[in-house]
């Protein structure tokens, strides 16, 4: 992916030298969906960086002021997707949360995918208890399209049984993004599928 500059950030491919910054937030992933990305040490992080550098859809989020990698985005069409559909995701070093960096980075990525790559539809999967990620989708004017109940398991309980999570799909169309309309979506509360106020901080 080409480099994208925003007010405070540079979005660019991963490259040699990023391992320590990547390790800083993947030593202990906070979202269950990223547990499989957990890195033990710098050697593992260096291998992960080399893989990411070859992945067109993998984007490092860097602070403009000092070049530090503070998280990453992915945004690409999967192998079995229609060519004009892309899935997106985000993972920020918690140390840099709550400052609008994820919104700034994700907004730039969506804009790039729609305007430069000509993508027609973008979607994101979010666990229903992941309030920060749901909030981000909503701020990006993505519409909640559905909830897949007990859709996926990332962890097991103490007895070894899979813990299933409810997964939401959020999406936005190119025409909606380009028109700046929040179009067809209804304002959402932060309730889980059972209608109970969600309290978790992240999937």
List 62, 70, 101, 122, residue binding ligand COA (CB under 6 A): 101
Which of 126, 142, 172, 173 binds ligand COA (CB under 6 A)? It is 126
CB 11 within 8 A of CB 3: yes
> From the CB of 100, what's the least distance to ligand COA, in Å?
2
Strands laid side by side in the 162-173 sheet? 4-5, 9-12, 58-63, 69-76, 85-92, 121-127, 162-173, 143-156
> Is the distance from CB of 136 to CB of 90 less than 8 angstroms?
yes
Is 57 near ligand COA (CB under 6 A)? Answer: no
Least distance in angstroms from the C-beta of 79 to ligand COA: 20
- Give the helix/strand (H/E) hosting 148: strand 143-156
Query: In the complex with ligand COA, which residue's Cβ is closer, 114 or 170?
Result: 170
The Cα–Cα gap between 70 and 76 comes to 20
Residue 167 found at the interface with ligand COA (CB under 6 A): no
The reply to whether 88 sits near ligand COA by the rule CB under 6 A is no
| 14/83 with CB nearer ligand COA | 14
Stretch that binds ligand COA, among 56-64, 115-123, 130-138, 185-193 (CB under 6 A): 130-138
Residue 62 is a binding residue for ligand COA (CB under 6 A): no
* DSSP bridge pairs for 124: 170
Instruction: Give the C-alpha separation, 4 to 12, whole Å.
Output: 7
Q: How far apart are CA 148 and CA 3, in angstroms?
A: 35
Site for ligand COA contains 6 (CB under 6 A): no
Which residues of this chain interact with ligand COA, rule CB under 6 A? 30-31, 33, 89-92, 97-103, 126, 130, 132-133, 135-136, 139, 202-203
């Amino acid at each position: 992916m080409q480099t994208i500059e925003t007010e405070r950030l540079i979005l660019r491919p991963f490259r040699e030298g990023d391992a320590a910054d990547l390790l800083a937030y993947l030593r202990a992933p906070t979202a269950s969906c990223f547990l499989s990305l957990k890195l033990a040490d710098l050697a593992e992080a260096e291998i992960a960086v080399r893989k990411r550098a070859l992945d067109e859809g993998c984007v490092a989020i860097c602070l403009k002021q000092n070049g530090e990698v503070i998280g990453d985005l992915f945004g690409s069409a999967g192998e079995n997707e229609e060519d004009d559909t892309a899935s997106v995701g985000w993972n920020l070093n918690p140390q840099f949360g709550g400052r609008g960096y994820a919104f700034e980075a994700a907004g730039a990525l969506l804009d790039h995918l729609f305007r430069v790559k000509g993508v027609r539809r973008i979607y994101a999967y979010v666990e229903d208890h992941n309030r920060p990620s749901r909030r981000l989708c909503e701020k990006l004017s993505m519409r909640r399209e559905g909830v897949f109940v007990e859709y996926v398991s990332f962890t097991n309980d103490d007895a070894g049984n899979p813990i299933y999570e409810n997964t939401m799909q959020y999406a936005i169309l190119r025409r909606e993004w380009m028109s700046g309309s929040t179009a067809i979506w209804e304002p959402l509360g932060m309730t889980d599928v059972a209608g109970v106020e969600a309290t978790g901080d992240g999937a």
